Structure 1
Amino acid sequence: MMKKKSIGLLLAVLLVAVIAGCSSKVSGGGKTVKLAYVAWDSEIASTYIVKEVLESKLGMTVEMLQVDAGPMWAGTADGSADAMVAAWLPGTHASYLEQYGDKIEDLGPNLDGTKTGLAVPAYMDISSIEDLKSSDLAGTLNNRIVGIEPGAGIMMATEQAIADYGLSDYTLLESSSAAMVQELEKAYRNNEPIVVTGWTPHWMFANMDLKYLEDPKGVYGGAEQIHTMVRKGLAADMPEVYQFLDQFNWTPEDMEQVMVDIANGQSPEDAAKSWVEEHADQVNSWTVQAQE
């Protein structure tokens, strides 16, 4: 009787061990991936997509680190973050690339066709940043350009634009991407003039009729890409995560779908989950090797 109990106990222990081993494999071996990102609507969308794939397809635990642009780059460079999918290059984050480029690994673009600049509602009868020099227009705009978080690349470019275009009558208002959009929506509803720091992809261009002001001096540069950056050593520590991040690539239309869902009231988690479920083939192309 005791012998049978001992054998039964041994089998139970072995079964628990097997289940634990399988569970460890499914859950990514208990590994935690730290993703840094800035609170731009575009980067919230992309980072939550990456989080959903890491958790649902690769079994990882994901820690989200929402920071400003400088700390995002610095954290990835010093290893306090594993990765970020929010590096706007070659222009917007050029200063950060110069500062941290040799301490970080660039996996290349995850999205092509981005743009930054000053944006206004289409009903405004101006077409160029040069037009902002009109003192009458400056007064109508309350002498302000509505910006986002201080330290963001587009804010540094806008400070340069104010200097290069002689817009000394204007103050660049520091806020957040969410607060900027709220100001824009309020002005748009009332058919009032406003100038904001804009970028695409962004859901505001889908929900409102907006236009970029021409930039004859080229302060904001041309079309950009969003790159994936990872800490050095990630390939050795988490090869499956590295492979997925290296393969992650989507379109502005993909990103805008997630952004619009979030803007319409879905949580970032739910919007990302829905998108991943609806694009199984695309997601599989990102993860097929990482899962092997």
Structure 2
Amino acid sequence: MTPTSEPTTSDPAAPSTARPAVAATAEPPAAGDGPGADALRTVLDVLDLERVDDATFVGRSLPKPGGRVFGGQVLAQCLLAAARTVEGDRLPHSVHGYFLRPGDVREPITFSVERLRDGRSFSARRTHALQKGEPILSMTTSFQVAQPGVEHTDAPPPSVPGPDRVPSAISTLAGVDHPVAQFWTQASAFDLRHVEASIYLEPGPMASGRQMVWMRARGPLPDDEVLHRALLAYGCDQVMLEPVLRRHGLSWATPGLSMASLDHAMWWHRPVRVDQWLLYVQTAPSAQGGRGLGAANVYRQDGTLVASIAQEGMVRVPED
């Protein structure tokens, strides 16, 4: 989430055998034409970090209204920076991050990666995203080699309408003269479809702390599992606190609404492709003291659980 007035949101790292940059792994297929394809290509470009040395990378930000760095962007960049210091085929399975300061889209972001541990099965990295020498995000990422073990998965709710039966934000907001509508139709790299109707411009019909959202990138992507996991981190930040808003009869367009990500945790359970439809089953267990908690399980269309996410954010509304 883009922060408002609050936080958004050494051992040497591995040398030449480390994972290469996103752009070096595979050239993404043509994402098609139109604003969505352009937005996706822009996101991929921003996620392609410049290597300074074995433990340091530099990135830039997407332009955003208000000039604040989008939290999902810096989450994804931190993950990719950490991944480029991990040898072999170890994949990220969890991240835990704290947004410490608002980021400025006009300033470059330096990503400093600390190697915490490399074991036989797991590797751990701590990454600081820095602007002007100050951390805006501090995140720990754990990586694991593929291993056999016990396995089960909870099922999604029954009888969920498929994405082809749910209107897209792109179509429902087309032609609406509002900055929120213009972002989702022109600048978003993802197609979002809210099963219960979106809350972009007005509150939902019921005050419920639950929602389900279908999400898919607006174009094809290369076969790079780390990139897909990073883009899941990017995309999920667009919806994680929506159940809090929905529960309290608010919308993104509520006058005076102030929101910012405070901390974020993710667990990837299985391989994921964000250029295929994913279902977010979301809840808002609590809101108190100007903070709200959002949680989500993310499923493939076949009902397989691929990720679980939790985020606490600042949620402030003007007093009556």
Fold agreement, TM-score > 0.5: no
Q: Which has the higher contact order (CA 8 A, sep 6+)?
A: 1
Larger radius of gyration: 1
Given the two structures, how large is their TM-score scaled by the length of structure 1? Answer: 0.27
Q: Which has the higher helix share?
A: 1
TM-score between both structures, scaled by the size of structure 2: 0.25
